[in-house]
Amino acid sequence: MKKYSNLTKVIHIVGARPNFMKIAPLMEEMSKYPQYFDQLLLHTGQHYDDEMSKSFFDDLRLTKPDVYLGVGSGTHSEQTGKIMIEFERVCLQEKPDLVIVVGDVNSTIACAIVAAKLCIPIAHIEAGLRSFDRTMPEEINRVLTDQISDYLFTTCEDANQNLIKEGITENKIFFVGNVMIDTLLSHIEIAKNSNILEKLGLRKNNKIKKYAVVTLHRPSNVDNPKILMGILNALNELAKEIPLIFPAHPRTIKQIRNFKHQEMVNHEENFLSEGLNNTNRNVLTIPPLGYLDFLCLMSNAAIVLTDSGGIQEETTVLGIPCLTLRNNTERPITVKEGTNIVVGNNPDNIINTALSVLKNQNSRKKIPKYWDGKAAERIVKILSSKPRLLNVL
């Protein structure tokens, strides 16, 4: 196929921290072909905490964003609208040949809509995932982004079937694997150098104490005071058996304070001075961690309790038991083939399932197909073979 003389200009979109892990391996793979690809990294500022964002950029060796929109907080509609207004200006100025969006956050749908209206090809990485719960804003973002994208890169065959059922033609769908696992596999050895376990008193003389990890940020869990109290009660009950490390999202901490639940969690300075003492003080709340510190913490945990989608995938590859504190998951392959159990947010279910898993400690299950660290390589090969882009590989 004929090669075009000009570079293919690609704009990569990141807005929330999980996006960084998905874009990093793709940018690294494209950088191997600078004679063919002109890459720009655009950060919408959807997650706008400087320290949290900076640590991820540093850990993942991502270059400083070429464009930072700085949209900040707001309702879903406000945030989406702000991103669309600012991103349209960027597209009109830069005239990209391709816009790459990842995941299911507001930045994903906002930039995809702008690109579609300007007739700029769109690649959606992590397409086809469905929880079938339209009360989740992320589900709306996923469905709409897939409908207007030109290239749909999926992490599993279930996602392919979801897209086909929604009327998307098969020639747009590409099963390539999971780019977030590319990042995990390329950083797991580096993460072993983290001192987070020593800092938290979890490793002494090369011996690691048994502990659990908790993450919590979904509105369905943290915006309702009754539900949040129930989850915190469950964590405190579980903490009688095993200490829980809780890197807390700023929004979750805000809600804990708003609902006056501070007594339900311990803070880092108290934890380090009092030590592990088999009381509910063993729920340790710490600030959010960088990617490498969190990977180290997660990979050595006995169990992880979370409402995060990406962590369901990462624990599956690491062989760590995972309890998903939601009533559904858009990643059913992590249940079917991986280590994930969907338990909802009922306190009794959380406690009983966690205690059962800790007692039985089931062995590692199957790692899904193509979760092998080569997803980004497959994506670049596919993109470069299409008529709209350069046939370079």
List the catalytic residues.
217
The whole-angstrom separation of Cα 149 and Cα 123 is 6
Closest CA to 119 of 150, 80, 163: 150
Map tokens 């707001």 to a residue.
74
Helix (H/G/I), strand (E/B), else coil: 245: strand
Whole-number Å distance between alpha carbons of 36 and 8: 6
Q: Measure the N-to-C terminal CA separation of the chain; round to a whole number of Å.
A: 11
Measured distance CA(80)–CA(236) in Å, rounded = 37
Q: Which 3 state secondary structure label does DSSP give 167?
A: coil
The structure tokens listed for 339 are 């280590």
Decide: 211 and 243 in contact? Cβ < 8 Å. yes
Torsion of CA 219, 68, 379, 171, to 10 degrees: 70
Q: What are residue 305's DSSP bridge partners?
A: 214, 323
Question: Cβ(84)–Cβ(113) under 8 Å?
Answer: yes
Pure H helices in the chain:
17-30, 50-59, 76-94, 106-117, 137-148, 157-165, 179-191, 196-199, 219-222, 225-238, 250-258, 268-274, 291-299, 309-318, 333-336, 347-360, 375-384
Strand partners, 324: 306, 342
312 near 334, Cβ under 8 Å?
yes
